Amino acid sequence: MKPQYTIAVTGLNNTDNPGPGVPVIRALREAKEFDVRIIGLAYENLEPGIYMENTADKVYQIPYPSSGSDELMQRIEYINSKEDIDVLIPNFDAELYTFMLSEKKLKEMGIKTFLPTIKQFEERHKSELPKYGQKYGLDIPFSKTISNLSDIDHIQHEFEYPVLVKGKFYDAYLAYNSSQVTEFFNKISVKWGVPVIIQQFIRGTEVNVIALGDGNGNTIGAVPMRKQYITDKGKAWGGITLGDENLIKITNDLINKTKWRGGMELEIIKTHTDKYYIIEINPRIPAWVYLAVGAGQNIPEALVKLALGEKPEAFKSYDIGKMFIRYSYDLIGDIAQFEKLSVTGEL
């Protein structure tokens, strides 16, 4: 008989800017070696994953990490007293830091996680990427951070236009001259604060890799993908698995050198001369994770095993040419569900 684990998952926002929660749950429900009871953790009461069938067995609202980690941990403690959670999988960039800091506290409650270390998380920030590239011998586009408008003049001679103007968490714009840089700097800094990153623009095709590192330098799983259909928010609405062995080599090399622990997504530009530049490292499972499952690598299942202290065997292959096509679908809910979640914080 298979063991059953209670797994708490965030990121139920299956919207046009989707969180990875729903595909992670779907993967866990298809796990070969264990059964699951899923506890959905939601920040907003209209996250679609709350209402989707065969997704979460029970949903609890949790406070945003910005309200303070104590408040969030108190809520998790309460949920754990009801549900006895075995593993927690946070899926949002903005909450990862809080959960990483609270790893010990969660462990004391009997909740296991499998997250990057604080050092791994910090050193791959967009603003730190050039240093990261130098340290680990990776090709990263040249970039500089700026905190005010006068900095633009000081660094201008180091770049050729166009350049990418990027927010520290989200948003990226292509600027062809200094007045556009100024315009995008203002736009981004109002939304995401400073610093703003000015990055060399590399022409080529964007490819992505989902991967899982065991924390000892070994890659447990890695699947490369090219977005085939991109929304106006830059999100993949369709994609296809690739057979490019160089992408696997780059991923293995990075995981080996950094001893990466947990899920990750690499965003890479492949140039027309077949050079590969890492443009971003996301420290969590991406929303397209179910493509990897469909291609033969159940990365969330392996992550749960790692969290439980097991040593899952590394995946040896995946299917090339597997595609995902996302779709939107109208769920019919009832005001009583919305009321229950709003009033009691549980559904």
Partner 1 sequence: MKLKKNIAVSETGFLFDSNTGESFSLNETGRKILQFLKEDKSEDEISEWFAENYEVDQATFENNLYDFFTVLQNFKIIE
Residue 248 near partner 1 by CB under 8 A:
no
Pick the binder of partner 1 from 244, 265, 280, 301 (CB under 8 A).
Answer: 244
- Looking at beta carbons only, is 100 or 289 nearer to partner 1? 289
Residue 228 near partner 1 by CB under 8 A:
yes
- Looking at beta carbons only, is 150 or 273 nearer to partner 1? 273
Distance CA 312, CA 220 (A): 7
Residue 19 main-chain phi, psi, to 5 deg: -85, 160
Question: Cis link prior to 300 (omega < 30° from 0)?
Answer: no
Give the dihedral of Cα atoms 74, 75, 80, 82; nearest 10 deg: 120
Pick the binder of partner 1 from 3, 234, 243, 333 (CB under 8 A).
Answer: 243
Residue 203 near partner 1 by CB under 8 A:
no
- Looking at beta carbons only, is 23 or 239 nearer to partner 1? 239
- Binding piece for partner 1, criterion CB under 8 A, among 61-69, 137-145, 242-250, 328-336: 242-250
Q: 125: which residues sit within 8 A by CB, 6+ positions away?
A: 168
Written as one letter, the residue type at 261 is R
Kindly state the smallest distance separating residue 226's Cβ from partner 1, in Å.
Answer: 4
Residue 37 near partner 1 by CB under 8 A:
no
3-state secondary structure of 305: helix
- Binding piece for partner 1, criterion CB under 8 A, among 59-67, 119-127, 241-249, 336-344: 241-249
Residue 180 main-chain phi, psi, to 5 deg: -70, -35
Distance CA 54, CA 26 (A): 8
Kindly state the smallest distance separating residue 244's Cβ from partner 1, in Å.
Answer: 5
Report the DSSP pairing between strands 219-230 and 276-282. unpaired
- Looking at beta carbons only, is 270 or 284 nearer to partner 1? 270
Q: How many residues bind partner 1 (CB under 8 A)?
A: 14
Pick the binder of partner 1 from 155, 240, 308, 314 (CB under 8 A).
Answer: 240
- Binding piece for partner 1, criterion CB under 8 A, among 48-56, 129-137, 234-242, 248-256: 234-242
Residue 242 near partner 1 by CB under 8 A:
yes
Residue 226 near partner 1 by CB under 8 A:
yes
Residue 54 main-chain phi, psi, to 5 deg: 55, 35
Pick the binder of partner 1 from 174, 320, 325, 331 (CB under 8 A).
Answer: 320
- Binding piece for partner 1, criterion CB under 8 A, among 74-82, 98-106, 240-248, 282-290: 240-248
3-state secondary structure of 73: helix
Burial label for 188, CB within 10 Å (0-12, 13-18, 19+), is buried
Residue 265 near partner 1 by CB under 8 A:
no
- In the DSSP assignment, the letter for residue 313 is P
Kindly state the smallest distance separating residue 287's Cβ from partner 1, in Å.
Answer: 18
**Helices in 84-141 by DSSP H: which ranges?**
93-101, 103-108, 118-123, 129-136
Distance CA 216, CA 229 (A): 35
- In the DSSP assignment, the letter for residue 91 is -
Kindly state the smallest distance separating residue 282's Cβ from partner 1, in Å.
Answer: 20
Q: Which residues bind partner 1 (CB under 8 A)?
A: 205, 207, 225-226, 228, 239-244, 270, 320-321
